[in-house]
Structure 1
Amino acid sequence: MRTTGDRIRQAVSFEVIGLLISVPLAAFAFGYSLEKTGVLGLIGATLATVWNYIFNLGFDHALKRFTGSTRKSIKLRVLHAFSFELGLLMAFLPIIAWWMEIELLEALLVDVSFAVFYLVYAFVFTWCYDTIFPDTDAAPPSGQ
């Protein structure tokens, strides 16, 4: 199981790299100002960082309980990425509408766009992170 420090490093590095990529992309794609999109990105990153820590802790505990290991197969990585983004999508939608002063439908388009970006990004980032900073508990349980 990962340490608290490792989980914090993972969550913060995930959000910093994601912001550096997504904010300019979103400002360009939707025609919003970089400042307004940047603040929205910071709000989303803060929300996502807290959610990242809580979600990954719960996911790893469930995985360890049901499989005896925190090792993730490709199927589990896909499930992990989709379920993380779905939870974040629901929490972020009203914030986007409020901050950007747009209707919920337009906010949903922005939210889904961020979610699609972060869905792919989460899959790639987590795989890279697990490769660079392997979880010593991720080895298959003995006898398997």
Structure 2
Amino acid sequence: MRSTADRIRQAVSFELIGILIVTPLFAWVFDHSMEEMGVLVVLGATAATVWNYIFNLGFDHALRWRRGDVRKTLPLRIVHAVLFEATLLVLLLPIFAWWLDASLLTVLVMELSFAAFYMAYAFVFTWGYDILFPPQRTEQVA
């Protein structure tokens, strides 16, 4: 299992790199100012950072409980990314609609775009992170 410090490093680096990529990209794609999109992205990233820690901790505990190990196979990485993004989407949809003063349907399209981007980004980032900072193997308790 990863230490708390390692989980914090992972979550913060994930969000900082994501903010630097997504703010200018989505300001351009959705025709909003950098400032307006920047506030939205930072708000979403802050919520995502907290959720990232909670979600990954719970996911790793579930893996250890079910399999005795926290290493992820390719299919498990896909499930991990999809579940993380789906739960984050549900949490952020009303906040984004309020901030942009837009309908839930309009924001759902935006959120699905964010989710698609971040799902691919999360997959690549966590795989790279696991290579750079491998999780410690866990011992099975008899």
TM-score, normalised via structure 2 length: 0.96
Q: Distance in 2 between matches of 1:42 and 1:114?
A: 13
Q: Distance in 2 between matches of 1:111 and 1:91?
A: 11
Are 1:3 and 2:41 an aligned pair? no
| Match of residue 15 from structure 2 | 15
1:137 CA displacement: 1.6
Q: Distance in 2 between matches of 1:113 and 1:32?
A: 15
Q: Which runs of 5+ in 1 are unaligned?
A: none
Letter in structure 1 aligned against 2:116? V
Are 1:104 and 2:104 an aligned pair? yes
1:5-84 residue pairs with structure 2 within 5 A? 5-84=5-84
Question: Aligned to 2:83, what secondary structure does the other structure show?
Answer: helix
Q: Distance in 2 between matches of 1:61 and 1:137?
A: 13
Identity between Structure 1 and Structure 2 (%): 58
Q: Which runs of 5+ in 2 are unaligned?
A: none
TM-score, normalised via structure 1 length: 0.95
Provide Cα deviations, 1:32-69, integer angstroms capped at 9, x if missing partner: 01000000000000000000000000000000111110
Q: Distance in 1 between matches of 2:40 and 2:136?
A: 36
Q: Distance in 2 between matches of 1:77 and 1:31?
A: 33
1:89 CA displacement: 0.3
Q: Distance in 1 between matches of 2:96 and 2:105?
A: 11
1:136 CA displacement: 1.5
1:94 CA displacement: 0.5
| Match of residue 94 from structure 2 | 94
Corresponding pairs, count: 140
